[in-house]
Structure 1
């Protein structure tokens, strides 16, 4: 069952990242995809936008939350932190790269934003595990 939940969450992330217009999806419920045979790979290396708007901040928070949740879900299934980090970071890179083919702006810095959510989840899990082991030691 956990694997199915992880799969559904990954499909949701892919849907949100590859839809032609995230704005139209959120505001109007319009889900559409546009394949681009010749993506502009130079966009992948473009810097963080200098025009920081409220919607951009909300979108980046969405990146953090989506990958935080994904990492927590994977943590429930696997215990190897290096494998979890590699899996989730690779999926983050894949989603950003795929956006280039779906007329969206996949960016390297967005992988960094996704990593914030991943590392926050791993840090939270480590903190929880540490507190749990301290409690077990106190009980003994």
Structure 2
């Protein structure tokens, strides 16, 4: 069941990232795809950070971070292995951005970086939790 939930979430990510317009999907529930059989792979390496200093750009990137933080949580919940979570996470992050190039969207390596912030946040929470568990166990062995 956990694998099914994670697979559905990844599918949702792919739908959101490959639809022609995320705005139309969210506002009007209009799902449409425009396939481009020969994308320009050099677009993957364009750094568009300077071109978009507005709030919409910030909100989109915050969405990347939150969405992929949840993905990391779900992957760990399903696998209970940090290395597998990290590997699958990176595969999904790169795949979604590369897939966007085929669907007339702007897949960017920079967005993989934003996605990875979500993974970093998950890893920080995971390590913090592990430290708390170790400290809690060491307290239970202490004799006062």
Same fold (TM over 0.5): yes
Which residue in 2 is equivalent to 1:3? 3
Deviation per CA, 1:67-105, whole angstroms, max 9, x where unpaired? 100111111122332222111011100000000001100
How far the C-alpha of 1:134 sits from its partner, in A, is: 1.0
Long gaps (5+) in structure 2: none
For this pair of structures, how many residues does the alignment match?
140
Q: What is the TM-score of this pair, normalised by structure 2?
A: 0.92
What root-mean-square deviation, in Å, do the aligned CA atoms of Structure 1 and Structure 2 show? 1.2
Long gaps (5+) in structure 1: none
How far the C-alpha of 1:119 sits from its partner, in A, is: 1.3
How far the C-alpha of 1:2 sits from its partner, in A, is: 1.0
Which residue in 2 is equivalent to 1:57? 58
Deviation per CA, 1:56-76, whole angstroms, max 9, x where unpaired? 111111111111001111111
Aligned partners of 1:21, 1:94: CA distance in 2, in Å?
Answer: 19
Which residue in 1 is equivalent to 2:98? 97
Helix, strand or coil: the match of 2:53? coil
Q: What is the TM-score of this pair, normalised by structure 1?
A: 0.94
Q: Which structure: larger Rg?
A: 2
Alignment of 1:44-123 (within 5 A): 44-50=44-50, 51-123=52-124
Q: Which moved more, 1:20-29 or 1:6-15?
A: 20-29
